[in-house]
């Protein structure tokens, strides 16, 4: 009897703690997602009382008739590839350097992490000022030619500018994750490799790097998802320009739904992109998880 009452009390406590979180998640995530699925089958401007059901016409428009979504998808894919590769390579290199016994290691860890805690929109506006006015003033003083380039006005340079700012803002987070992984590598394994005659490079690539598998998987997954949902920095820096050369999928969905007031097509684009991101992230996660090494 007492055991039954205790179980009922525990169930009531668990429900009391989990129900608010579930209701909040349902209100902010699950219900809007279901509504987006419905609106993706309709033609609605957000003002009319009743959406007009049109079936799969929005998806036909996205995949066959309209090139805007496909072009934005190609840009996002290119951005994601460059962002994931460079952010992880640079973060790992800096993490290795910052785990060495140097005097200012903790100071530099804090310096690299500060941009991550800043709003991405604020970071975008700061770098927009630097690219437009800051570089101009430095060029006048130094006459360095690369400072006089149109970093946000040239389509090719604008892409690299957006990637650079994205990496700069997110880098500190990945450095922290890699430092945690490096500190978790058993010292006796490294000592055994040294006794076996391995030099510094061999110990890193044949011992340390394989044991960093969980950290690498986490950083790859996080950088992948952050790159696929890039929005704030592009909106603040270029607003998709020049000539839609930095137009991401998230910006395309936002403009379609909230600027053009085409909620049906915007919802359909969000559903298609959700499925695309789901497949990509699961495939990448499975590939890197299978390469992890257990001690």
Q: Which of 252, 250, 264 is nearest to 45 (CA)?
A: 264
DSSP letters spanning 30-83: IHHHHHHHHHTTEE--SSSSSPEE-TTHHHHIIIII-SHHHHHHHHHHHHHHHH
Contact 193, 49 (CB under 8 A): no
For the chain, give me the number of helices (H) and strands (E)?
15, 2
pLDDT recorded at residue 105 = 82
Q: Tell me how far the alpha carbon of residue 102 is from its chain's centroid.
A: 31
pLDDT in tens, 120-139: 888 989 999 999 888 888 88
What Cα–Cα distance (Å) separates residue 293 from each residue in 201, 206, 207, 211? Answer: 19, 11, 10, 6
* Least confident span in 95-109, 246-260, 261-275: 95-109
Backbone angles phi and psi of 175, in degrees to 5: -60, -45
Is the confidence at residue 175, as pLDDT, over 60?
A: yes
Please tell me the distance from the alpha carbon of residue 75 to that of residue 248, in angstroms, as a whole number.
6
pLDDT recorded at residue 85 = 96
pLDDT in tens, 197-222: 888 888 888 888 888 989 999 999 99
Query: What mean pLDDT is reported for the chain?
Result: 89
Burial 109-132 (b: 16+ CB within 10 A, else e): beebeebbeeebeebbebbbebbe
Contact 210, 202 (CB under 8 A): no
Which two structure tokens, joined as six digits, stand for 6?
């205790």
pLDDT recorded at residue 270 = 93
Which two structure tokens, joined as six digits, stand for 139?
């060029």
Contact 171, 223 (CB under 8 A): no
Q: Which of 44, 8, 28, 109 is nearest to 265 (CA)?
A: 44
Give residues with Cβ within 8 angstroms of 248, minimum separation 6: 72, 75, 76, 79, 230, 231, 234, 240
Q: Tell me how far the alpha carbon of residue 143 is from its chain's centroid.
A: 36
Please tell me the distance from the alpha carbon of residue 159 to that of residue 218, in angstroms, as a whole number.
26
pLDDT recorded at residue 198 = 81
Q: Which of 79, 44, 110, 26 is nearest to 229 (CA)?
A: 79
pTM given for the model = 0.89
Please tell me the distance from the alpha carbon of residue 276 to that of residue 237, in angstroms, as a whole number.
26
DSSP letters spanning 119-163: -HHHHHHHHHHIIIIIHHHHHHHH--GGGGS-TTTSHHHHHHHHH
* Least confident span in 151-155, 159-163, 246-250: 151-155
pLDDT in tens, 2-34: 567 778 888 888 888 888 888 998 898 889 899
- Total Cβ atoms within 10 A of residue 233: 25
Strand partners, 53: 42
How confident is the model over 189-196, as a mean pLDDT?
A: 83
Domains of the chain by range and CATH? Answer: 68-290 (1.10.3720.10)
């Amino acid at each position: 009897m007492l055991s039954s009452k205790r179980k009922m009390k525990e169930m009531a406590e668990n429900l009391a703690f989990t129900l608010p979180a579930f209701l909040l998640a349902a209100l902010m995530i699950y219900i809007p997602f279901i509504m987006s699925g419905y609106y993706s089958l309709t033609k609605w401007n957000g003002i009319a009382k009743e959406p007009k059901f049109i079936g799969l016409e929005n998806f036909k428009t996205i995949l066959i008739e309209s090139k805007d979504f496909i072009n934005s998808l190609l840009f996002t894919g290119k951005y994601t590839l460059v962002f994931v590769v460079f952010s992880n390579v640079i973060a790992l290199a800096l993490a290795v350097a910052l785990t060495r016994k140097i005097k200012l290691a903790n100071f530099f860890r804090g310096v690299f992490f500060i941009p991550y805690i800043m709003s991405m929109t604020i970071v975008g506006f700061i770098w927009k000022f630097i690219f437009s006015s800051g570089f101009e003033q430095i060029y006048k003083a130094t006459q360095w030619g690369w400072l006089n380039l149109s970093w946000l006005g040239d389509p090719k340079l604008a892409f690299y500018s957006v990637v650079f700012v994205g990496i700069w803002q997110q880098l500190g987070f990945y450095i922290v994750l890699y430092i945690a992984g490096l500190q978790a590598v058993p010292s006796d394994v490294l000592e055994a490799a040294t006794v076996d005659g391995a030099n510094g490079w061999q110990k890193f690539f044949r011992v340390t790097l394989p044991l960093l598998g969980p950290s690498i998987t986490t950083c790859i997954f996080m950088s992948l998802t952050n790159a696929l949902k890039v929005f704030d920095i592009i909106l603040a820096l270029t607003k998709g320009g020049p000539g839609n050369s930095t137009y991401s999928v998230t910006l395309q969905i936002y403009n379609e739904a909230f600027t053009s007031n085409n909620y049906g097509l915007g919802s359909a684009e969000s559903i298609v992109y959700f499925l695309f991101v789901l497949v990509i992230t699961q495939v990448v996660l499975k590939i890197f998880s299978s390469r992890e090494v257990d001690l």
